[in-house]
Amino acid sequence: MDSRLVQDSQMAVKKSTDIFDKCLKFDKAKTLIAQGLYPYFRMIESAQDPEIVMNGRKMIMVGSNNYLGLTNHPRVKEAAIEAVRKYGTGCAGSRFLNGTLDIHVELEEKLARFMRKEAALIFSTGFQVNLGVISALVGKDDVAIIDKMDHASIIDGCRLSFGEVRKFRHNDMADFERVLKEYEAKDKLVVVDGVFSMEGDIAKLPEIIALSDTYGARVMVDDAHSIGVLGNTGRGTAEYFGMEDAVDLIMGTYSKSLASIGGFIAGSADIIHYIKHVARPLIFSASPPPASVASVSAALDIIENEPERREKLWKNTTKMLMGFKELGFVVGPSQTPIIPVIVGENEKAFLMAMMLEKEGVFANVAVTPAVPNGKALIRTSYMATHTDEHLDIVLRAFEKVGKELGII
């Protein structure tokens, strides 16, 4: 064989076996950066308030999940500071071994009472809750049944399990029943978002529970975007529908209304006890830091004692839903403070986000595969602490940019 052919063949083999090749070829983000259309990892220089500072410039924030405006609340910050003074900055170990403090246990008891469940278990992140709980409960002969639009952490929790995973069309109860019927003879865990993080709509929980009961499935609700938002007292989707006793497990995160980082699962004592001793992301992760735990506890007190925050949040939500619709924007099925503005193509969504930034508005972008093809959107979300003046500025900016892009 020609020596040059041998050399070329060896080079080809060498290239194809370099695991970093995919990194070197990844140019999507670099292209957007070069075009001035990159909307990710933008550096914020202030707290997550309705007004933020970015590149030394004030902007209206409509891209935060700080629904009740508690991340910069004096009582929440003071609770974190006091916890650091007493316990230090970390626990230097997992909950399973040396990392359980008295405030961890106290918060679990408080969360259980708040969620009206027998017990609760806290994790270091909300993502880890779904990884740990789903993989602990769904074994090799079991089935996880999930909504097609469930959060990525639910999908990854299913991947980590040894069970089969089946999706049903978003909030489509006929398709949901079809899947349930197909696996009637198997042990089943149904996992749905209470509020879907991109669409802003609410799971059809009464129908989901009725069908799950009929076919012998257990139900877990991811209430990351529901706690502090839905229900008469802010306890989430189950309270909103008056079905707290019917939901087997409720998952929540701290990074939205609870003003910190971390997450929890709440349910019956026996189920929580099992998860506590089986969930690998709990057992093998460092314990939630004291400041985070204390912040959540303070935020829960505020949620219970200041219902006017939730009332203001819903007033702002109604104003923006009506405002966008009156301007001619398509906002999809949103029923909550998450209001997506449907743009269409990915490139137009990137451009719109940058144009809004120039108008002094920070909003998020969602493109495929996070949303269906042709349904790229600007994801906006609102806080109890937004004023009418803030919201009017946002609507004027969207109107100007929407007309320039031919969206309205």
User: Which of 197, 255, 295, 297 is flagged as catalytic?
Assistant: 197
Query: 293: closest CA among 51, 109, 163, 135?
Result: 109
**Whether residue 64 lies in the annotated active site:** no
DSSP type of residue 44: P
- Known catalytic residue: 348? no
Beta-bridged to residue 145, according to DSSP, are: 166, 190
Catalytic residue selected from 117, 170, 225, 276 = 225
Backbone φ/ψ region at 41: left (φ over 0), alpha (ψ -120 to 50), beta: left
Q: Are 266 and 107 in contact (CB under 8 A)?
A: no
Cα–Cα dist 373/345, whole Å: 8
CA torsion angle 39 70 149 365 (round to 10): -10
Closest CA relative to residue 76, chosen from 116, 108, 49: 49
Give dist(CA 341, CA 334) in Å, integer.
Answer: 10
Q: What is the distance in angstroms between the CA of the first residue and the CA of the last residue of the chain?
A: 65
Whether 249 and 265 have beta carbons less than 8 Å apart is answered as yes
Fill in the amino acid letter for 189: L
Kindly state the tokens that stand for 263: 């997450």
Q: Is 197 a catalytic residue?
A: yes
The DSSP secondary structure of 325-341, one letter per residue, reads HHHT---TT--SSEEEE
Annotated catalytic residue within 151, 256, 312, 375: 256
Phi and psi, residue 376, nearest 5°: -55, 145
Q: 118-147 burial string, b = 16+ CB within 10 Å, else e?
A: ebbbbbbbbbbbbbbbbbbbbeeebbbbbb
Catalytic residues: 197, 225, 256
